């Protein structure tokens, strides 16, 4: 069966699966970024509090873009919080005091994982001639690569 944008639905099933994985991970990351935005303590409070807000606002936009892309290629995005928790590989955090090094180290690992996920999506999308999804995933990849660079710079 062919979707409205001319792509075979069977061909894009794997891409949709990857995008749903990414969507689930972004939701958990969104919650985690808030947890860190709220619980950060220490001399890095002001810059990190603000930076984390910038990142979670970008994640919120990504969530919408990814879910809508899944629909465009003829599939359905996950919508239940329980499904996000079940699928996500990024781990939730407890609400507790946390210093900047631990926080940034954890976010760095999450972003490195997301980059790997996105590279997989780009490959799978390319195999089914789904350049639109690949392009979106590449934009996400570039943004996360920049974040990885900044987080690494913070850790020195
Ligand atoms: Fe806030």
Nearest to 83 by CA among 26, 36, 24: 24
Q: What is the pLDDT of residues 91-147, one digit of tens each?
A: 999 999 999 999 999 999 999 999 999 999 999 999 999 999 999 999 999 999 999
| Distance of CA 38 from the midpoint of ligand 1 (Å) | 7
- The DSSP line for 76-118 is -----HHHHHHH--SPP--S--B-HHHHHHHHHHHHHHHHHHH
Note the pLDDT tens digit of each residue in 27-83: 999 999 999 999 999 999 999 999 999 999 999 999 999 999 999 999 999 999 999
Q: What are 40's strand-pairing partners?
A: 98
- CB-count burial class (<10 Å; 0-12, 13-18, 19+) for 144: buried
DSSP reduced 3-state for 8 = strand
Q: Name the one residue in this structure whose structure tokens are 């930076």.
A: 51
Nearest Cα residue to 12 out of 124, 109, 92: 124
What is the C-alpha to C-alpha distance for residues 151 and 154, in angstroms, rounded to an integer?
5
pLDDT (tens digit per residue) in 72-92: 999 999 999 999 999 999 999
pLDDT for 141 equals: 98
Report the mean per-residue pLDDT for the chain. 96
What was the pLDDT predicted at 1? 83
Give me ligand 1 centre to Cα 58, in Å: 14
Q: How many residues does the chain have?
A: 156
Place of tokens 């003829």: 74
Examine the pLDDT at 3 and tell me if it is beyond 90.
Answer: no
C-alpha 131 to ligand 1 mean position (Å): 36
What is the distance in A from the centroid of ligand 1 to the CA of 145?
Answer: 24
Task: Work out the angle between the directed axes of helices 9-39 and 131-155 (0-180°, nearest 10).
Answer: 30
Expressed in angstroms and rounded, the spacing between residue 37 Cα and the centre of ligand 1 is 7
Q: Which domains does the chain have, with CATH numbers?
A: 9-155 (1.20.1260.10)
> Which of 58, 148, 50, 60 is closest to 104 using CA atoms?
148
Indicate the pTM of the whole model.
0.96
Rounded mean pLDDT, 2-15: 91
């Amino acid at each position: 069966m062919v979707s409205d944008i001319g792509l075979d639905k069977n061909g894009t099933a794997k891409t949709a699966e990857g995008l749903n994985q990414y969507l689930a991970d972004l939701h958990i990351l969104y919650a985690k970024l808030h947890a860190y935005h709220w619980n950060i303590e220490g001399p890095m409070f002001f810059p990190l509090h603000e930076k984390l807000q910038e990142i979670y606002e970008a994640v919120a936009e990504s969530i919408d873009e990814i879910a809508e892309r899944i629909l465009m290629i003829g599939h359905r995005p996950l919508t239940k919080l329980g499904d996000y928790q079940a699928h996500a590989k990024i781990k939730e955090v407890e609400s507790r005091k946390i210093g900047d090094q631990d926080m940034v180290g954890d976010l760095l690992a999450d972003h490195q994982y997301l980059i790997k996920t996105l590279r997989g999506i780009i490959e799978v999308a390319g195999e089914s001639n789904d350049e639109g999804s690949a392009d979106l995933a590449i934009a996400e990849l570039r943004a996360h690569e920049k974040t990885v660079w900044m987080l690494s710079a913070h850790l020195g």
